[in-house]
Every structure is written in structure tokens, then in C-alpha cells.
């Protein structure tokens, strides 16, 4: 008698991108999980045909499985508005993409799945369809009414973002004491709950070059970041910084922290992606369920050409299983 496999819910993301191909490839691994895709079954069948891979689909009935054969995938079916053409965006499918995220979020919040693993979406085509959308993280936070934080993790580095998808010109005004207290609180608790770190060490980057250089290159460090970090240290948090971003990632410093908080999207993610592009995982801390994702985009230029690499999605699925197991042990 096999123990029940953990149930992972998958959303392939943009139908014209590489997400559907990656989901099919994931089904052909020996990952010890019951894989369920919230997607159009015909979309997955067409992706499998392009990859020349067999695919066994059946509707998800909610029952647990003791084993899963390679190429086996269960589905929460949802029909595309328009058949996809790989590599070519179609705004008519934008509502479909958001409906997969809505159904997936609701199913995970209801406890029907152990975790959610998401493929890449294309924010531009969703907005072109007249639907305001800034990203998965913000969408799931609103849906769950949760205080969340984006954390990118590779094998040897974890990077969280104080701001996510903001224009660079809007970042300084967004770095407030209230935001820093909130995001550092979510990061601290997430590292404890999901990564088993009882007293996490967090390196906080400055906003300006050289962390402001005593106010000569900007005053945000002196006026906002340093006073906030000092107050949180008084509450028991182990915080380093603010550190200059250009030296914070050198090997000698990495041994002294468990995660980095960057002030904006492109301040630290190039470092993470340069060293772990094929294995990096996007994690949403603070949700009532585990959510992980690939750390790459839709790759429209290679969609449909059997060239997409599975590494990041496989890492995301493995990370989802690890984080879920750790949460279960802590309860």
C-alpha cells in the first residue's frame, strides 16, 4: 500500500509561451507528487504533441493517488477563449489566464492541494486586454487578503524585494518605515516557518550607490532605512546593513546572512539569476498556502520549438514539496 502522494496544483501561465510545454515535461519526471493542472486539456495535448511525448489526462476527482506514472496528469479543466499559436500573444486569452489563477488560488485556500506551482504569465498582454494586472504575487495577495513578500531562492542565495513591479522613478517614495517594517516582518516569519530558521539573519541593501555614502549620494539610508533597522533590532531581529549593493553579494559576506532584502526589483535579481537561472524559484511568503513559481518569463521566442528547459519549474515543484513538508512538521 503506497502512501498518498502530495497534491500539487499547476498553472501553465501564458498559453502561447513555454508554460504548457514545461507542465507536460514535468509530468514526465519521477517527481513524487500527484500533479494536477488548472488548464485547457486540449492546450496540454497540443503541447505534448509538439514535444512528441505521450500524455495521459483525466479530470481531477479530488481522490488521492498512491502512485503516478510518467506522463500522467490530472486536470481542473478550463477552456481557452482562442486556440493558442506558440510565440504569438492573443489578448482574447487574458481572461482565461486570470481565471486559472483565480480557481487555483481558491482551491489551495480551501485546502484541496498541498501547494501551488505557477508557470510564467505575460503581464503586457493581460493589461492590453484591459485587465489591470501587475503580477502573480500581487494577484494572490489580493485574493487571499494576505500580507505577502516576493522571495527568489537559488541553491546558495535567497533574495527578497521591498518593492516589486514599480517603475524605478517610483521606488524612492515607496521606501517608507512602514513598508520596511512590514516586509521585514513577513520575511522574518517566512524564513522561520518555511525554511526552519529560528533566528534568521537578514542583510538589508541600501537604496543608493554605496548605501548613500553618509548622505552624500542620497538621504534615504540616514532618514529612513537606518532608523527603521535600529528599531527592529531592538525587537530582536538580526539585521545587517544597510549594505552597499555592489559588495553585499561577495562570498566573504554571504556566510553572515540567510537572506537579502533588496530595495527594488533589479537591484538584486540579476545576481540571483546570473548564478541560478535554471534552478531559481520564486516564492510568495505570507500566503496561507505554499506558492512557488519559475523565475523566468514566457520565452515566446522559443515557444513551440521543443527548446524550453525544465530546470526552474522542476526546482519550483521540489521547493513546494519541501516548504509544505516543513509547514506540516511545524504544526
Digit-coded pLDDT (tens) for 124-135:
999 999 999 989
Q: Per residue in 169-212, pLDDT tens?
A: 999 999 999 999 999 999 999 999 999 999 999 999 999 999 99
Overall size of the chain counted in residues = 331
- What pLDDT score does 295 carry? 87
Binding residues for a divalent metal cation: 165, 210, 265
269 and 207 in a single domain? The answer is yes
Question: Which positions ≥6 away from 124 have C-beta within 8 Å?
Answer: 89
- What pLDDT score does 331 carry? 67
For residue 212, CA distances in Å to 122, 168, 171, 325 come to: 35, 17, 15, 41
Binding residues: 136-137, 165, 210, 265, 273, 282, 291
Q: Which residue shows C-alpha cell 540579476?
A: 270
Binding residues for substrate: 136-137, 273, 282, 291
Phi, psi of 115 (to 5 degrees): -160, 165
Last residue of a domain, one of 267, 283, 299: 283
Domain CATH for 2: 3.40.718.10
110 and 151 in a single domain? The answer is no
Helices (H), 110-176: 123-128, 136-144, 171-174
| CA atoms of 60 and 64, how far apart (whole Å) | 10
| CA atoms of 73 and 55, how far apart (whole Å) | 7
Q: Containing domain of residue 104, as a range?
A: 1-146+287-330
pTM of the model: 0.92
306 and 233 in a single domain? The answer is no
- What pLDDT score does 171 carry? 97
Categorize the per-residue pLDDT at 226 as very low, low, confident or very high, splitting at 50, 70 and 90: very high
102 and 154 in a single domain? The answer is no
302 and 325 in a single domain? The answer is yes
Burial class (CB in 10 A: 0-12, 13-18, 19+), 309: middle
Task: Tally Cβ neighbours within 10 Å of residue 196.
Answer: 13
| CA atoms of 327 and 325, how far apart (whole Å) | 5
Considering its fold, how many domains does the chain have in total?
2
| CA atoms of 39 and 104, how far apart (whole Å) | 10
256 and 311 in a single domain? The answer is no
The sign of the CA dihedral 189, 117, 142, 125 is positive
Report the pLDDT averaged over residues 247-264.
95
306 and 204 in a single domain? The answer is no
40 and 8 in a single domain? The answer is yes
Report the pLDDT averaged over residues 259-266.
96
Largest CA distance in the chain: 68
7 and 136 in a single domain? The answer is yes
140 and 220 in a single domain? The answer is no
- Residue 215, CB half-sphere, CA atoms under 13 Å: how many? 4
**What pairing do the DSSP bridges indicate for beta strands 281-285 and 72-77?**
unpaired
Mean pLDDT of the chain: 95
Last residue of a domain, one of 283, 299, 320: 283
> Is the model's pLDDT at 243 over the cut of 80?
yes
Q: Per residue in 281-302, pLDDT tens?
A: 999 999 999 999 998 999 999 9
- Per-residue HEC secondary structure of 86-112 comes to CCECCHHHHHHHHHHHHHHHHHHHCCC
152 and 63 in a single domain? The answer is no
41 and 141 in a single domain? The answer is yes
Amino acid at each position: 500500500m503506497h502512501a498518498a502522494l502530495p497534491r500539487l496544483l499547476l498553472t501553465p501561465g501564458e498559453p502561447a509561451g513555454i508554460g504548457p510545454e514545461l507542465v507536460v515535461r514535468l509530468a514526465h519526471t519521477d517527481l513524487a507528487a500527484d500533479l494536477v493542472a488548472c488548464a485547457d486539456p486540449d492546450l496540454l495535448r497540443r503541447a505534448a504533441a509538439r514535444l512528441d511525448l505521450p500524455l495521459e489526462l483525466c479530470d481531477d476527482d479530488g481522490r488521492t493517488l498512491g502512485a503516478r506514472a510518467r506522463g500522467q496528469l490530472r486536470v481542473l479543466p478550463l477552456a481557452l477563449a482562442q486556440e493558442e499559436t506558440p510565440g504569438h500573444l492573443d489578448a482574447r486569452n487574458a481572461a482565461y489566464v486570470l481565471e486559472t489563477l483565480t480557481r487555483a488560488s481558491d482551491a489551495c485556500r480551501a485546502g484541496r492541494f498541498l501547494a501551488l506551482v505557477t508557470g510564467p504569465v505575460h503581464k503586457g498582454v493581460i493589461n492590453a486586454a484591459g485587465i489591470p494586472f501587475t503580477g502573480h504575487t500581487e494577484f494572490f495577495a489580493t485574493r487571499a487578503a494576505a500580507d505577502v513578500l516576493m522571495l527568489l531562492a537559488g541553491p546558495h542565495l535567497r533574495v527578497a524585494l521591498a518593492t516589486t513591479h514599480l517603475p524605478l522613478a517610483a521606488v524612492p517614495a515607496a521606501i517608507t518605515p512602514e513598508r520596511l517594517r512590514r516586509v521585514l516582518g513577513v520575511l522574518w516569519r517566512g524564513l522561520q516557518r518555511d525554511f526552519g530558521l529560528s533566528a534568521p539573519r537578514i542583510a538589508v541593501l541600501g537604496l543608493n550607490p554605496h548605501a548613500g555614502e553618509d548622505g552624500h549620494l542620497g538621504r534615504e539610508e540616514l532618514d529612513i532605512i537606518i532608523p527603521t533597522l535600529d528599531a527592529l533590532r531592538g525587537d530582536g531581529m538580526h539585521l545587517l546593513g544597510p549594505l552597499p549593493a555592489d559588495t553585499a553579494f561577495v562570498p566573504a559576506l554571504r556566510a553572515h546572512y540567510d537572506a537579502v532584502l533588496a530595495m527594488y526589483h533589479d537591484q538584486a535579481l540579476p545576481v540571483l539569476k546570473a548564478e541560478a537561472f535554471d534552478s531559481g524559484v520564486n516564492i510568495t511568503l505570507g500566503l496561507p498556502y505554499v506558492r512557488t513559481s519559475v523565475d523566468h518569463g514566457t520565452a515566446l521566442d522559443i515557444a513551440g520549438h521543443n527548446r524550453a528547459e525544465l530546470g526552474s519549474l522542476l526546482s519550483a515543484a521540489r521547493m513546494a514539496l519541501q516548504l509544505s513538508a516543513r509547514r506540516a512538521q511545524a504544526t
